[in-house]
Structure 1
Amino acid sequence: MQKRIALSVPILGYTLPEHVAFAKEAEQLGYTDAWSFEVDGQDCFTPLAVMALSTNMRLGTAIANVYSRGPATLAQSAASIGELAPGRFEFGIGSGSQPIIEMWNNGRFIKPATRVKEMVQFLRPALAGERVVFKGETFQVDGFRLSQPPPSVPRIHVAALREGMLTVAGEVGDGAIINWLSAEDVKKSVAVVREAAAKAGRDPAEIEITARLMVNIDPPGPEAELMRKRHINAYLQVPVYKSFHQWLGRSETLRGMWESWDAGDRRGAIANTPDEVVDDLIVHGTAEQRNEHVQRYLDAGVDTAFLSWFTFEADPQKRRELIHKAMVEMAPRK
């Protein structure tokens, strides 16, 4: 399968209209795709709509979560991007996390693997323009049909962390989306996906493995080291990511970090965040070191790596300059 280096969008500090020029330049530099995310800023579909009309990039959601939008709404949103970018849209879905679903969207984060699997089972016929009657454990749909299905049915990728969701990706997904893991961890995750696909009678080699890589582009120094540890804690204290890294085998390595956090000692949690974990999970360093780190992910089994550049620089103009510089330095075609 072709190895691809992609953008992670939206790019923080850039307005949506500014994404047009950024994406055009990125495409000229050899970036093949743009994959979107949504947390507490822009949604995952609108940036892709902007880029669909200004580039010939492949576009993907990574991810649209399956709780905050209903089944029909998800299908409609995907159909719209599919019409704007026929044959170029990859539909990534996933469960999201407890804070996003329960604290911000007043939902219930229950049976995530079942919910995602059932959503794939609903979306395939729905995006093909069929009338769908679906009765699952987590939702039901009675008689929905898209009045304007996309010209071509987008492939569906499943975002996965632990074994249960990785198995769902292998069983029913066209791809598996992974993140917040080391290059070495990739091998364990991919093995679960491939094995599940084989057991389901599918060709394991046809499952695309995509990954969002967190890339810190700040100059080296104590302040950047401290902020990277804070960034690690912002994610790995979330229950789904904590469980994920326990599954990966980091229970003892991160015990001090988690125990300090649970005791309300935020400074202690940061102090107890091992340097080697930061180095494994966050791409950073010189441009050469960053590119070498990305290559390790590709060598370990990632097919498409989307680079999520971040900086702790407070000045907006300097932030933009750092991001643009990183885009050029890490371009596939330099």
Structure 2
Amino acid sequence: MLLDASLTGTDDPATTARELEERGYAGVWASEVAQDPFLVLHAAALGTSRVSVGSAIAVAFARSPMTLAYTGYDLQRYSRGRFVLGLGTQIQAHVERRFSMPWSAPAARMREYVGALRAIWASWTDGVPLRFRGEHYRHTLMTPMFTPARHEWGPPPVHLAAVGPLMTRLAGEVADGLLAHSFTTERYLRERTLPALQEGLATAGRTRAQVQVSLPGFVVTGRDDAERARAAAAVRGQIAFYGSTPAYRPVLELHGWGALGDELHALSTSRREDKWQAMADLVDDEVLGTFAVVAEPAGVGPALLSRFDGLVDRFSVYPGTGVPLDVLDPTVAALT
């Protein structure tokens, strides 16, 4: 199992990525939250020579497949073959009201989106005429002036973010990787995610070895009680935030915590000034320990291997918990 890290929120991605590479991390990821992930990853690629650099995630439906095809192809060239194009759908409200883009059944649209990307790349790398005609996307014009020069690394691998069974099966059918959501558990991965992935693989006649599974998971650790308490508070808040979203309710229901999801959702839509703290307070130690690895620094690596080895191929610590990099050095050593 490889250990990755997040660049989300960094002001100097080239320096941060270089430090992570020197510390032994296998890859770095940038998310589309409050910054453009591709600008971050471009800087990270130029500042490193070994680590993979990937988007986890970029919002596919906010962009034309043609726009993203150019971006992905260029970043694969700039990174010398180390770029991973990780895509997600976002939710309807954000696609329509934040990005002002059309929304439709996400799994069907994403299937077509990946097909469009691959058709565009094939026209550049193999000289295949561009004749992609789908329900949502049509790409039928590519002239020499707008055709990028071929490069030795070719198009990037495409990874898809998934929580529910439809998107997970789709990843097994058409993607090179699956980006599991942070709001997951070992049991949900074993009983829901991987069986759905295997169904998609079987449909396409593929094997598990052809799809890399990545998980940005929660970790609570620290050098002393104060650091661990801060990390635990941050993770409780994030679990509460995700748990309040109806789309993620099946994860809670699997563990018999559907009522917790109802309470979190009700609080999230209330006018209480202290609602976010009240939500975090509902995440007790049992829930915390199910969603997060809670351990001393030296125990994080063994705990991750015990929980996820054989289930996921790559693990990265969810950003925003405030755990200093040096605290995770034993984890890097245990997973490399």
- Return the alpha-carbon distance in structure 2 between the equivalents of residues 137 and 247 of structure 1: 35
Distance 1:51 1:327, change over 3 A: farther
* 1:30-79 deviation line (CA, Å, top 9, x unaligned): x22222212113x2222222222322212222222211111111101101
* 1:88-131 deviation line (CA, Å, top 9, x unaligned): 22222121234542343233443111121111111112223144
Q: Does 1:50 align with 2:43?
A: yes
Question: What residue number does 1:229 align with?
Answer: 236
- Return the alpha-carbon distance in structure 1 between the equivalents of residues 164 and 255 of structure 2: 8
**Contact 1:217–1:309 (Cα < 8 Å) also in 2:** no
| 2:19 alignment partner, one of 18, 22, 25 | 22
**Contact 2:230–2:321 (Cα < 8 Å) also in 1:** no
Any idea what SS the aligned residue of 2:198 has? helix
Question: What residue number does 1:135 align with?
Answer: 133
Letter of the aligned partner of 1:258 in structure 2?
H
**Contact 1:66–1:115 (Cα < 8 Å) also in 2:** no
Any idea what SS the aligned residue of 1:153 has? coil
Distance 1:109 1:296, change over 3 A: farther
- Return the alpha-carbon distance in structure 1 between the equivalents of residues 257 and 142 of structure 2: 44
Q: How many residues align?
A: 318
Task: Compare the two structures and name the one with the higher helix fraction.
Answer: 2
- Return the alpha-carbon distance in structure 2 between the equivalents of residues 150 and 93 of structure 1: 23
- Return the alpha-carbon distance in structure 2 between the equivalents of residues 61 and 45 of structure 1: 7
Percent of pairs identical after alignment?
22
- Return the alpha-carbon distance in structure 2 between the equivalents of residues 238 and 254 of structure 1: 8
| Bigger relative CO (Cα 8 Å, ≥ 6 apart) | 1
**Contact 2:30–2:56 (Cα < 8 Å) also in 1:** yes
Letter of the aligned partner of 2:79 in structure 1?
A
**TM-score of the two chains, using structure 1 as the length reference:** 0.83
Letter of the aligned partner of 2:204 in structure 1?
A
Q: Give the unaligned 5+ runs of structure 1.
A: 313-321
- Return the alpha-carbon distance in structure 2 between the equivalents of residues 249 and 201 of structure 1: 35
Larger mean CA deviation between 275-284 and 137-146 belongs to 137-146
| 1:209 alignment partner, one of 202, 208, 213 | 213
- Return the alpha-carbon distance in structure 2 between the equivalents of residues 21 and 161 of structure 1: 31
Q: Give the unaligned 5+ runs of structure 2.
A: none
Any idea what SS the aligned residue of 1:177 has? strand
- Return the alpha-carbon distance in structure 2 between the equivalents of residues 77 and 163 of structure 1: 29
- Residue 216 of structure 1 and its aligned partner are, at CA, apart by 4.3
Output the aligned Cα RMSD: 2.8
| 1:91 alignment partner, one of 61, 68, 85 | 85
Question: What residue number does 2:6 align with?
Answer: 8
Any idea what SS the aligned residue of 2:332 has? coil
Any idea what SS the aligned residue of 2:3 has? strand
